[in-house]
Structure 1
Amino acid sequence: MKKDFFDAIRAGDRDEVERILLLDTSLIHAKEKGLSPVLIAAYRLEPQLADFLADKTVTLNIFEAAAIGRTTHLVRLLARNPELVNAFADDGFQPLGLACFFGYLEAAEYLVRAGASINTPSNNELHAAPLQSAVAGGHAPIVRMLLKNGAQPNVRERGGGTPLHAAAANGDTESIQLLILAGADLHIRSDDGKRPVDLAEEKGHHRAVEILKREITKRFRVSSST
């Protein structure tokens, strides 16, 4: 039944999830590869199902609360144990990285105020800092907040990519402009030798290409005149 339960979560089938929980309420506390039902629903981009499962859970942990944007739970958890703010989940992510990836600005802002490490990468193969998580999720307001609070714009993740590489690949022009203003390196190459503008061109993001090439030209002219 455990397998059926997690299969239903991954499928986003709330009716089946509810049916199975009626048969075995203990499954709400089960884990699959270290992930709780709430986190699996969040990773499957099923926020309504994640909220439903959270309401069935007696107490959310710091990672679940961050992943579904339950700021009031974060406040209570950190009041009891402030060190949780920089704890790592079983999958290697910290609370701030989770809030950033899933787009919960209020939760991310609170975690930063509570002492979350802005530039610490995830403790897994992705090696992704919160800024990279925010860009990957397409959340420009969180990108802005992180940069304002000292996030490093040229931090590298697995494969040597920077946040600007990710924003360019996604065609996220708002994040591209924020990163440029923060001093992102336009010429930095990933491990496979590609610059952000190369990725934007490959993906056909014409507006992103235009912004990046204009800034490359602008910086070249400035450097040539000094």
Structure 2
Amino acid sequence: MTVALCRKSLLLVSLLILSACQQRQAILITQGIEPFKVKAIETALIQSGWQVNQSTIAIPAEFPNTAIATNPAYRDSQAITEIENILKGQGFAEPTEYKFAEGKHFFSMNNIGIYLRNSEQALQPLPPDFIRTDHCTAGDATLNLSPQGQAMLEYERPINDNFKLEQHTGTWQFDGAQLSVTLDRAQQVFKLTHEQRPIWRGLSPADIYTPIQDSDFKVLNCTFLLIYLE
């Protein structure tokens, strides 16, 4: 994730807390952390006088596995030490501290962002945010893949001379070579290859996801792709 995108994600957090009261708040952003650890951190923060909110934004790729983000004017070193001790108590490394401001503050004075990532997940490659079907006779579909491992298939199922939009949710896993998708009604494994595909100005690189299993959900037997236009 670029710095610009990182800041955009942080802005989303700030928009959620602009109307909050003056009580200090910890915004907890986690990726791949065991739920019992997240709960233990949340409980310890609340006991120390923090109001805790959880956010599902993606952790910027350039962040280490443990990080804290504050307003540039934040000077409460005791509070930072307090959070560091809570995180160390749950086995996390000492966090790297970031301060964000560019015209607008992404974290107001009484708020701190806490970013925690599972170190094993940090090494896993990520697929694109979305891929779409490529000339699929079963219907057009888009597969949305969130950084948190959630998958959503939006599917235009043909009915007579019309279409019905369906949504199916589930999870995904990706090892850099194969994408496994498990939805509420079916699953599929796709093999990733790279090709050049024609667009209006010539050829562009594309990621091609070819199904390698026979799924009862016909649209999952179609090839999905993402064409890079730049």
Q: Which has the higher strand share?
A: 2
Ranked by relative contact order (alpha carbons within 8 Å, sequence separation 6 or more), the top structure is 2
Q: Which has the higher helix share?
A: 1
Q: Which one has a bigger Cα radius of gyration?
A: 2
